[in-house]
């Protein structure tokens, strides 16, 4: 049995003879070609007269540039930095590689490093396509609070300066599994609109006092002064305790419109990408799980704020009949803080000293190990 390559080579030899031969000789050449190749007579006549159909023979293309060691290194970097999209990974690659080399986590040849830095966003997507994965969604447990709705105003442009650090959206994520009955743990997610700085905080339950105490404990950890909070209409937020605390501390307190999740788009996105993506949808309720979740968040807050670049929407609208969205260059919350002129130099120095001591691989490994243990406790 001849291979396709051998059949083609035979055809290249026989076809010129066939085209120049007389009718009687063509019969003999055709019989010879069919006996050697095994082709059907009609097909053999067609290719001897007109050649092989286009597209059947694969022409030799360019040698792939991004393959082997380059793709393996890209996948490793992508895993370390939390499987972020190419729009976020591409501008962060130079800094991300520098961090990993500083920590001794990767060792790249000069050629591999050069190719990684030359990659476009489309090339990154193409190289990572085989290893991408998807996750699912869960339950919402927000119950409207009616108290103080008139005192706590709906957020408007006059209330907030979203171009200044310190105005944060806050929300609760329930770790109730598939049932909201009984007591279960919650996560308070706080996201700064200007820089993307995010603080996840484990709560034993969703009481007014717990939320107020968590916000108070969070403030010293922030690289900026807390100027305002914006919540949904849940009773854990819309209450006299939190309202009076904000009045006393000179913190602007606003709320979103009822049933309008897009009013809190920043924190809702973090509920998924930070909390659900890390700890999932299992039910968490024990003291051991609370302590473990608190430990996870102590590592996770450093990982996401120092090593996870974020995009910020700068324009959305119609241009020439097309709906256009434009984003700024992806940067980590830490990088955005360092670029601000209104952040004190002492604060920048404190966070820079912390940054140079951090290892993203060690943080990611610690988080994954603790999450595995958390899931074991959930069984």
Q: Which two tokens stand for residue 218?
A: 């969070």
In 3D, which of 266, 200, 191, 197 has the Cα closest to residue 229?
191
| pLDDT at residue number 332 | 95
Alpha-carbon gap, residue 306 to 212, rounded angstroms: 26
Please, what's the largest Cα pairwise distance for the chain?
A: 107
- Grouping H, G, I as helix, E, B as strand and the rest as coil, residue 104 is coil
Cβ proximity of 311 and 335 under 8 Å? no
DSSP reduced 3-state for 130: helix
Q: What would the two tokens of residue 283 be?
A: 């039910």
pTM of the model: 0.75
Q: Which residue has the tokens 């699912």?
A: 136
Residue 169: strand, helix, or coil? strand
- pLDDT at residue 19, rounded to an integer: 85
For tokens 């919350």, the residue is 333
3-state secondary structure (DSSP) of residue 318 = strand
Tokens of 150: 């008139």
* pLDDT value at residue 8: 83
* Beta bridge partners of residue 80, listed in sequence order: none
Cα–Cα distance for residue pair 191/117, rounded to 1 Å: 31
The whole-number pLDDT of residue 3 equals: 81
Mean pLDDT of each 10-residue bin along the chain, 379 residues long: 80 84 85 86 86 63 80 91 89 93 90 92 89 52 44 51 88 89 93 94 92 95 94 88 92 79 79 90 92 96 95 83 86 95 94 95 94 88
């Amino acid at each position: 049995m001849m291979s396709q390559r051998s059949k083609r080579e035979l055809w290249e030899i026989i076809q010129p003879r066939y085209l120049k031969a007389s009718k009687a000789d063509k019969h003999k050449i055709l019989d010879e070609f069919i006996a050697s190749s095994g082709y059907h007579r009609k097909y053999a006549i067609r290719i001897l007269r007109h050649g092989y159909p286009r597209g059947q023979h694969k022409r030799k293309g360019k040698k792939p540039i991004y393959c082997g060691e380059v793709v393996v290194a890209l996948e490793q970097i992508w895993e370390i930095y939390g499987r972020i999209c190419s729009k976020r990974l591409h501008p962060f690659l130079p800094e991300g590689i520098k961090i990993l080399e500083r920590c001794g986590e990767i060792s790249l040849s000069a050629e591999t490093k050069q190719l990684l830095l030359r990659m476009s966003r489309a090339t990154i997507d193409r190289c990572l396509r085989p290893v991408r994965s998807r996750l699912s969604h869960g339950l919402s447990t927000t119950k409207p609070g009616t108290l103080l709705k008139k005192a706590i105003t709906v957020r408007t442009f006059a209330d907030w300066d979203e171009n200044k650090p310190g105005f944060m959206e806050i929300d609760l994520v329930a770790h109730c599994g598939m049932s909201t009955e009984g007591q279960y743990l919650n996560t308070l997610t706080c996201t700064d609109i200007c820089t993307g700085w995010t603080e996840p905080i484990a709560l034993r339950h969703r009481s007014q006092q717990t939320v107020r105490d968590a916000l108070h404990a969070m403030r010293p950890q922030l690289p900026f002064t807390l100027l305002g909070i914006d919540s949904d209409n849940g009773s854990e937020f819309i209450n006299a305790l939190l309202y009076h605390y904000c009045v006393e501390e000179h913190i602007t307190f606003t709320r979103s419109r009822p049933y309008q999740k897009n009013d809190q788009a920043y924190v809702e996105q973090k509920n998924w990408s930070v909390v659900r993506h890390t700890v999932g949808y299992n039910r968490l309720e024990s003291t051991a799980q609370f302590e473990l979740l608190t430990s996870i968040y102590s590592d996770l807050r450093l990982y996401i704020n120092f090593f996870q670049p974020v995009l910020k929407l700068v324009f959305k609208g119609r241009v020439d009949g097309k709906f256009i969205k434009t984003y700024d260059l992806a940067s980590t919350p830490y990088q955005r803080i360092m670029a601000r002129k209104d952040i004190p130099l002492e604060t920048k120095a404190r966070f820079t000293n912390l940054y140079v001591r951090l290892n993203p691989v060690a943080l990611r490994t610690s988080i994954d190990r603790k999450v595995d243990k958390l899931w074991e406790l959930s069984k």
